[in-house]
Amino acid sequence: MAEPAQDRPRIGAGERSARQILAAAAALLIVVVLAVHIAMVTRPDQPSFPLWALALGWLAAVFTIATGVAARWLPDAALRTAALIAVAAYGLTLITFPFAVPDQGIDRIPWTLTASGAAAAAALVGGGRRLAWLTVLAGTTAGFGFRAVYGGLDLTGVVNDLQALLTGAVICVIGGHIISVGRGLDAAAASISAAAARESAERGRLAARTRAAALVHDEVLATLNLAASDLPIPRDRLAEQAGRAASALSRMVDEQAEEPVLLRRALAEEARRHGAAFAVLGGPVTVLPAATQEALLGATRQALLNSRQHAPGANVEVTLEIRHQEATGSAILVRIADDGPGFDLDGIADDRLGIRQSIVGRMSRVNGGAAEVCSQPGGGTEVMLRCAAELVRVLDSSGDRRALRSGLGAVAVVYVLTQTACAVLASLAVAGTWPLNLAVLATALLAAEILRRTPSRRPGPGRTAPVVALVLGGLVAGALTLPFGYGTTWFSVAFAFVFVAFALRGRIGVAVTGGAMIVAVLVVTGLAAGVSAGELVQVTVRPVVLITLAAALLMVAERLHRRIAALHHEAVDQAERRSWTLAARSELAIRVAELGRTVVPLLERIAAGGDPTPAERREYASWEGELRDSLRAGSLARDPLVGVVAAARDRGVDVVLLDDSGGSLADAQVEPVLRWMADAIAGARERAVGRLLPAGREAVAGVTVDGQHTEFQGAANIVQGE
Amino acid sequence: MAARVAIVDDHQLVALAVQSVVDGAEGLSFARHAATVDELVRRMRDADLVLLDLSLRDGSEPGENVRRLRAWGADVLVLTSGEDPFLVRSASRAEVLGIVRKSVPQQVLVAAIQAAARGELVPTTEWASALDTDPLLNGAPLSAREREVLGLYASGLVAREVATRLFISENTVNDHLRRIRSLYHRLGRPAATKVELYQRGIEDGYVPAPRRG
């Protein structure tokens, strides 16, 4: 069980950790409830409940705590089962309560019975949002019912149950949101990972093809060309070169299938080679398209060379920055700066300035690429390179927004209803206080409404100040004018809830400070009113728990989500590299197998030395042409044309095939062209050029055989053919 | 006086082959072989014409190589093994006399080098095809006749054959080709900021390439 990650691959790291946090929160809530219960509320003169009922209550409590403590090490299925058992134990306690009531009756039901917050958190872990809401409602309903039957249906009892309902609702919404964000992160990572792997494989194949083509171009074409020519070339030197080319081809899979080099690493290496400092600012960059990366590296190299040449001994620094911009997409910036003497840009003619040509020209060929050279005499030189970073992935999940909104809506309704009920009950309980209670209620609702209407997600100081002033003013006024007690000071929770809303909107600091101020006001006014320490704790505990719980949950969840996102990022990078390497290797293996069948035997024959016969020369020329076609002939490199062209080359005809169509022709359009072109080239004696024309010309293809040019009237011929 | 010809190529054997071609041709003398442009221009100019390999393995860019050789004071004829149109265009935008494939028959290669040594333009199928497909040229002020000449050239005809086909003189064809080359060369200059932006837009697919009527 050391690695729970491998136990259930179906559940992602994000969702699992969200559940662990909630299990721990449930345990913490139970500890608080138990502490308050034992220290303050237990009265020795109460008739005692039967042993089985006490055991059941303790079982629910202890099981919840144990689950929370062990959550980190439990596999997901076990964690959910344990949480469900804890919820079931709480439910059982509610259901069996009537049977547990002693015969002589009780004064009032224990307040712990309706403290459903912990059970709600456990229900989120084990079941989900629905079970959690059900648990909270069951606790509240049972509370009211049992109070009516067995006693305790007074202001303190009802206010307690209503505030427990509010606490439970807050837990349901925040907890549900945390799980949904975790799940969203997992889903985003999975889909990004799959897409990244596909993309990366494609780029890996492309890179492999490019490498193979470059090798063929550099070594094989040159060798075959020389072998085919009748120029006086030293045979032993040619044999040597052919041997080198053959072995380079057979070693291609092992040597060319490199892992993609991250831009960061490549730039660091380039800077090191030129003795420049290197720094990175900003987020992660995965692999860039080869052409873009080469342009960036080449331009950087040129700028570094320039610095070394014109500012010897200056300090040079290379900085890589990744800028995320939502509107324009992300950009990669590379800055090469030296503190050398600088120069006057205007003093140098445009076409004389190597820097302009090789740096600006290079960058202008890549997507979103640009370069800028800034220098002035005495002010050093700075080169800025810029290109679009298409492949920066930002893993983000805001969870199920709709569920969060409807959850918050439900909490708002619960808030208004419970606090209004509390105000009404408090007015009824203490005669003559209704205007005061009403005013306090109105203040709390007004503060909450102002906050709700704040347009930005994080309320700024302009909104925060009046809301906090309202809350503290209302609290102080209420605490000074209304009698101090658990029921009569119901509004401490009403005001505390406003700070929960601050926490939900990302102002955790405001929430915690506000909570501390509420406690301070309550303690001072309580002490001034001369209430007992026990009663003081009773009144302050719920607002403190409410705010602390919300703030802590949100804070821990945010940190955790960041960690999970980083974890997923690594997984995505790994998937990318793996699939790149695999695809590149297999692509190269295919190319090597192909070349091994065709070109390598020829190269080995050349390497064996000896004078080639005229027939062999033509064979070399034919293969040289065919390899050239693989670079430039595009759709024309197909049967029946390939066979005819090979035969013509064997006869000593110089054949050039060019595909300039830019991929604008469908296979069905190319096929008649191939047959037509093959017929024309079959009769060639010296020179033949077959060409697919660019889109938009009158004809789709042309062929010139020994100076005779004809064009293929694509569409007409196809219509005739049908 | 014989024109001095140098070659810049990665492969020494290619240089050897070219040396034998040059030494055997009338009006040409072989000057020197260098593996990179750097190596060649480090010394005083000792060649009138440089045969430049299109894709050198030192990572240098063909256009930049051509400009440096021009700055050194030599004419440039580019030699290529295969025709990567992007590299061909990059070299063509600089001041080259022509782009010739290494695998053409020997007499064609000799004729091309001799023409280049006289400072004449060496238009080839590979050169014309790369230009004819460059979106940059689509927006350039070329006449219909010039486009026709370029298209025919890109399809494998030579000046004499183009002239016969269009019922014009060979000199007129060559005039057209010279104008296309110098226009293309002007377009390639970095000072043409607007054009370059336009070109970048087309290459990135942001600006639709204009169609020819």
Q: Which CATH architecture has domain B1-121?
A: 3-Layer(aba) Sandwich (3.40)
- Cross-chain Cβ contact B156/A662 below 8 Å: no
Q: Which of B14, B158, B212 sits opposite A226 (nearest CB)?
A: B14
The lowest-confidence range among A37-46, B28-37, B145-154 is: A37-46
Q: Is the pLDDT of residue A282 over 70?
A: no
Q: Place A40 in a pLDDT band, splitting at 50, 70 and 90.
A: low
Residues in chain B within 8 Å Cβ distance of A238: 13
The dihedral over CA atoms of A435, A441, A447, A453, expressed in degrees to the nearest 10, equals -110
Predicted local distance difference test score (pLDDT) of residue A715 = 52
A282 vs A558, more confident: A558
Whether A221 sits inside 8 A of B81 (CB atoms) is yes
Q: Is residue A390 over pLDDT 50?
A: yes
Q: How confident is the model at residue A714 (pLDDT cuts 50, 70, 90)?
A: low
Give pLDDT, residue A680. 92
Q: Which of B13, B55, B211 sits opposite A238 (nearest CB)?
A: B13
Whether B16 and A697 lie within 8 Å, measured CB to CB: no
State how far Cα A554 lies from the chain centre: 19
Report the gap between the CA of B118 and the closest CA in chain A (Å).
Answer: 24
Residues A510-554 have pLDDT tens digits of 999 999 999 999 999 999 888 888 888 888 888 998 899 889 888
Cβ of A222 within 8 Å of Cβ of B14? The answer is yes
**Cβ–Cβ of A697/B212 closer than 8 Å?**
yes
Q: Please, which residues bridge with residue A712 across strands?
A: A701
CA distance A425 to A156: 10
DSSP A357: I
What is the reported pLDDT for A88?
94
pLDDT at A397: 63
Distance CA B153, CA B129 (A): 8
Distance between CA A424 and CA A405 in Å, rounded?
28
Residue of B13, B59, B101 lying closest to A233 (CB–CB):
B13
Of A70-79, A193-202, A666-675, the poorest mean pLDDT is in: A193-202
A234 touches chain B (CB under 8 A): yes
Q: Are A458 and A506 in contact (CB under 8 A)?
A: yes
| CA dist., res. A588 & res. B151, Å (int) | 37
Lowest mean pLDDT among A141-150, A163-172, B138-147: B138-147
Cα gap A276→A282, rounded to integer Å: 20
With CA atoms as reference, the chain B residue closest to A628 would be B82
What pLDDT, in 10s, does the model give residues A331-375?
788 899 988 887 776 666 554 455 666 677 777 767 777 888 888
Nearest CA in chain A to B56: A218
Comparing A61 with A41, the larger pLDDT belongs to A61
Q: Report which DSSP code applies to B56.
A: -
**How many other β-carbons are positioned within 10 Å of the β-carbon of residue A119?**
31
Average pLDDT of the segment spanning A371-398 = 74
> Which one of 1.20.120, 1.10.10, 3.30.43, 2.40.50 gives the CATH number of domain B123-213?
1.10.10
CA distance B157 to chain A (A): 6
Per-residue buried b or exposed e for A606-621, using 16+ beta carbons within 10 Å of the residue's own CB: bbeeeebeeebbbbbb
Do residue A691 and residue B14 have CB atoms under 8 angstroms apart?
no
**Residue closest to B63 by CA, chosen among A335, A213, A694, A360:** A360
User: Residue type for A19, please?
Assistant: R
Per-residue pLDDT at B208: 39
Looking at chain A from residue 328 to 387, which residues have their Cβ under 8 Å from any Cβ of chain B? 350-352, 354, 356-358, 360-362, 364-365, 367-369
Å between B95 CA and nearest CA of chain A: 12
CB-based contact A344:A316 (threshold 8 Å): no
Q: What percent of chain B has pLDDT over 70?
A: 85
Q: CA–CA distance from A239 to each of A244, A435, B21, B195 (Å)?
A: 9, 107, 21, 49
CA closest to A226 among chain B residues: B14
Give the HSE-up count for residue A418: Cα atoms under 13 Å, Cβ half-sphere. Answer: 28
Amino acid (1-letter code) at residue A282: G
Decide if B200 and A350 are in contact by the 8 Å CB cutoff. no
| Neighbour tally for A319: CB within 10 Å | 17
**Residue A722, pLDDT above cutoff 60:** no
Residue A328: band (very low, low, confident or very high) from pLDDT cuts 50, 70, 90: low
Q: pLDDT category, A95, cuts 50, 70, 90?
A: very high
Give tens-digit pLDDT for A633-681: 878 888 889 899 999 988 889 899 988 887 778 888 888 999 999 999 9
Check the CA dihedral B190-B195-B198-B204 and report its sign.
negative
Residue A546 sits at φ, ψ, to 5 deg, of: -60, -50
pLDDT of A150 strictly over 50: yes
CB contact set of A528 (below 8 Å; sequence gap of 6+): none
Q: Is A9 on the interface with B (CB under 8 A)?
A: no
Eight-class DSSP state of A693: P
Q: What is the architecture of the domain spanning A288-388? A: 2-Layer Sandwich (3.30)
Q: What are phi and psi of B149, to 5 degrees?
A: -60, -45
Over the stretch A242-269, which tens digit does the pLDDT of each residue have? 888 888 877 776 665 555 566 777 888 8
* pLDDT mean over A3-24: 72
Strand partners, B208: none
pLDDT in tens, A604-644: 888 887 778 888 888 888 888 888 887 778 788 888 898 99
In 3D, which of A301, A316, A305 has the Cα closest to residue A267?
Answer: A301
Chain A residues 598-637 with CB within 8 Å of chain B: 621, 624-625, 627-628, 631-632
Taken in order A10, A14, A15, A17, the sign of the CA dihedral is: positive
Q: Using CB atoms within 10 Å of the CB of residue A293, give its burial: 0 to 12 exposed, 13 to 18 middle, 19+ buried.
A: buried
For chain B, state the CA radius of gyration: 17
Q: Assess whether pLDDT exceeds 70 at residue B199.
A: no
> Which of B57, B90, B69 lies closest to B190, judged by CA?
B90
Mean pLDDT highest for which of A121-125, A192-196, A607-611? A121-125
Question: How many angstroms away from the CA of A271 is the closest CA of chain B?
Answer: 17
Considering only CB atoms, which chain B residues are within 8 Å of A664?
none
Instruction: List, in sequence order, every beta strand (DSSP E) within A324-456.
Output: 331-338, 370-375, 381-388
User: Contacts of residue B101 in chain A, CB cutoff 8 Å?
Assistant: 656
User: Which chain B residues are within 8 Å of A352, Cβ to Cβ?
Assistant: 71
Hey, which residues does A655 pair with through a beta bridge?
Answer: A688
Min Cα distance A256 → chain B (Å) is 15
Predicted local distance difference test score (pLDDT) of residue A329:
62
Interacting residues of A80 by C-beta distance below 8 A, sequence separation 6+ = A19, A125, A126
For chain A, positions 206-225, list CB contacts with chain B under 8 A: 217-218, 221-222, 225
Report the pLDDT value the prediction gives residue A420, as an integer from 0 to 100: 93
SS (H, E, C) A537-558: HHHHHHHHHHHHHHHHHHHHHH
Residue A9's nearest CA partner among A253, A190, A260 is: A190
- Averaged over B170-197, what is the pLDDT? 71
- The overall average pLDDT reported for chain A is 82
- B21: closest chain A residue by CA: A231
Closest-approach residue (CA) in chain B for A241 = B13
The answer to whether the Cβ–Cβ distance between B82 and A368 falls below 8 Å is no
A285-308 average pLDDT score: 75
pLDDT of residue A5: 41
Whether pLDDT at B131 is above 90: no
d(CA B136, CA B178): 18
A670-674: long-range contacts at Cβ-Cβ below 8 A with a sequence spacing of 24 or more?
A670/A635, A670/A636, A670/A638, A672/A712, A672/A714, A672/A717, A672/A718, A672/A721, A673/A636, A673/A700, A673/A701, A673/A712, A673/A714, A674/A636, A674/A638, A674/A639, A674/A640, A674/A641
Taken as a whole, chain B contains a residue count of 213
Instruction: Give the model's confidence band at A326: pLDDT under 50 very low, under 70 low, under 90 confident, else very high.
Output: low
Q: How far apart (Å, rounded) are the C-alpha atoms in residues A514 and A617? A: 91
B98 forms beta bridges with: B77, B122
Lowest mean pLDDT among A364-373, A429-438, A479-488: A364-373
Residues 642-671 in A contacting B (C-alpha not used; CB under 8 Å): 654, 656, 658, 660, 662
- Distance of alpha carbon A183 from alpha carbon A181, whole angstroms: 5
Residue B44: pLDDT over 50: yes
- What residues of A are in contact with residue B213 (Cβ under 8 Å)? none
Subunit contact A222:B151, Cβ cutoff 8 A: no
- Give the residue among A202, A154, A73, A193 at the shortest CA–CA distance from A574: A193
* B-chain residues near A694 (CB < 8 A): 132-133
Q: Where are the alpha helices (DSSP H) in A101-228?
A: 117-126, 129-150, 155-215, 222-228
Between chains, do A351 and B67 touch, taking CB under 8 Å as contact?
Answer: yes
Tell me which of A147-156, A176-185, A224-233, A443-452 is least confident: A224-233
3-state SS of A677-688? HHHHHHCCCCEE
Question: Boundaries of CATH 3.40.50.2300 in chain B?
Answer: 1-121
Residue A491's SS3 state is: helix
pLDDT confidence bin for A156, thresholds 50/70/90: confident
Residue A687: list chain B partners with CB under 8 A: 156
Is A253 within 8 Å of A585 (Cβ atoms)? yes
Give the mean model confidence (pLDDT) for residues B78-84. Answer: 79
Tokens standing for residue A429: 């309980």
Q: What's the average model confidence in pLDDT over A131-145?
A: 93
Taking CB atoms within 8 Å and a gap of at least 24, the contacts of B163-168 are B165/A709
Residues of B in contact with A369 (CB under 8 A): 200
The mean per-residue pLDDT over the stretch A417-422 comes to 93
Record: contact A232-B106, CB cut-off 8 A: no
pLDDT tens for each residue of A551-598: 988 888 788 777 777 777 777 767 777 777 777 777 777 777 878 887
Range(s) for CATH 1.10.10 in chain B?
123-213
In this prediction, residues A61-82 reach a mean pLDDT of 92
- Find the DSSP H helices in A259-394: 263-273, 290-310, 354-355, 361-363
